Chain A
Amino acid sequence: DSGVTQTPKHLITATGQRVTLRCSPRSGDLSVYWYQQSLDQGLQFLIQYYNGEERAKGNILERFSAQQFPDLHSELNLSSLELGDSALYFCASSVGLTGGRNEQYFGPGTRLTVT
């Protein structure tokens, strides 16, 4: 158990819908990262938040957005869902900001299926 929790574990929804994925980081961790893992694209970094502020952006679509709240939990919002958005979405957390040695702890993931 990494100490990072994600809800829900599974989510099935239809194209065009909007969903919210939730992540609670390990106690004491200030950074939260979101990743997407799909069969065709592999693991991709989406976005990072540190202490409530966006710090780095990867391959995140405009239809996707995220935020980190004062209690440090984070939400990833996916809208206008398409079949290709079906994937595993992981959240990770770390103590530090970024750049240097920055061991991240991953949650168990949310499996999103868009039908």
Chain B
Amino acid sequence: GESVGLHLPTLSVQEGDNSIINCAYSNSASDYFIWYKQESGKGPQFIIDIRSNMDKRQGQRVTVLLNKTVKHLSLQIAATQPGDSAVYFCAENIGGGSYIPTFGRGTSLIVHP
């Protein structure tokens, strides 16, 4: 079946660098995408979302880019900090008017001081 996947299972960066976490999705009907951050021992935390009628959305130090042509989603974190170390999940919603998310496996971001 169709699924959401991540290109890199682990990403190591130096503090202060910019980080880019990628996500590929295969369901062209997906209309809503979310990025979550999960720190060790905690539940996922909403970071940022984007609807399919947009190709970019910015938050505080984070930017999500959506390329529907190649079904690709990315999360950019500016000036990465040690506190950004976590697993990052992307999720796509295929539910139309309902929320039925499918999650990627996650990318572990390790920030070295």
Say yes or no: A98-B97 contact (C-beta < 8 A), given A42-B106, A44-B103: yes
Task: Across the interface, name the chain B residue whose C-beta is closest to A107.
Answer: B43
Cβ of B25 under 8 Å from chain A: no
How many chain A residues touch the partner (CB < 8 A)?
Answer: 26
Contacts of B103 in A (CB 8 A): 42-45
Complex CA–CA separation, A101 to B104 (angstroms): 19
Contacts of B51 in A (CB 8 A): 100-101
Task: Return A41 CB to nearest CB of chain B, in Å.
Answer: 9
Say yes or no: A42-B95 contact (C-beta < 8 A), given A106-B44, A109-B43: no
Among B100, B102, B105, B106, chain A packs the most CB atoms within 10 A around the CB of B100
How many chain B residues touch the partner (CB < 8 A)?
Answer: 23
Complex CA–CA separation, A108 to B41 (angstroms): 8
Task: Return B106 CB to nearest CB of chain A, in Å.
Answer: 7
CB atoms of B44 and A58 under 8 A apart: no
Task: Return B52 CB to nearest CB of chain A, in Å.
Answer: 12
Cβ of B98 under 8 Å from chain A: yes
- Which residues of A in the span 25-53 have a Cβ within 8 Å of any Cβ on B? 33, 42-45, 48
Known: A43-B103, A45-B102, A107-B43. 19 other contacts (CB 8 A): A42-B104, A43-B89, A43-B91, A45-B100, A45-B101, A48-B99, A56-B99, A90-B43, A92-B44, A98-B95, A98-B99, A99-B97, A99-B99, A102-B99, A104-B46, A106-B44, A106-B45, A108-B43, A109-B43
